[in-house]
Amino acid sequence: MNTDKLRLKLISWIVNEDNQDTLNRINDLVDDLEFEQQSEKKVMGLRSNGMEVTKAELLRCVRISEEQAGRGELLSFDELEKHSETW
């Protein structure tokens, strides 16, 4: 279903819904989605060059690191120290 058809389907369904509890649940879901979207843009820190790091970017980096760790592609802190001595 394309985006426009889905929007119309949802709008029609909501307009015709009479159950207050159901409408409250939909409202809560929309509130949660809005909060999630806003928090993804939240600045979590700064890079060494002063550029902002958003929550979405930080979480993406964590996911990538976890995947790399699962494949054994990361160094332990001790291995990093040994390797850095050759720099």
Distance (Å, rounded) from C-alpha 8 to C-alpha 77?
Answer: 54
Residue 36's pLDDT is 78
Q: Is residue 76 within 8 Å of 82, Cβ to Cβ?
A: no
**pLDDT tens column, 30-68:** 988 888 787 778 888 999 999 989 888 888 989 998 999
For the record, the structure tokens of 17 come out as 């819904």
Residue 13 predicted with pLDDT over 90: yes
Same domain, 7 and 35: yes
If one counts the domains in the chain, the total is 2
Residue 15's pLDDT is 95
Q: Which of 25-29, 35-39, 52-56, 80-84 has the lowest mean pLDDT?
A: 35-39
Same domain, 52 and 26: no
Rounded to two decimals, the pTM is 0.48
Same domain, 47 and 74: yes
Residues spanned by the domain of 24 = 3-39
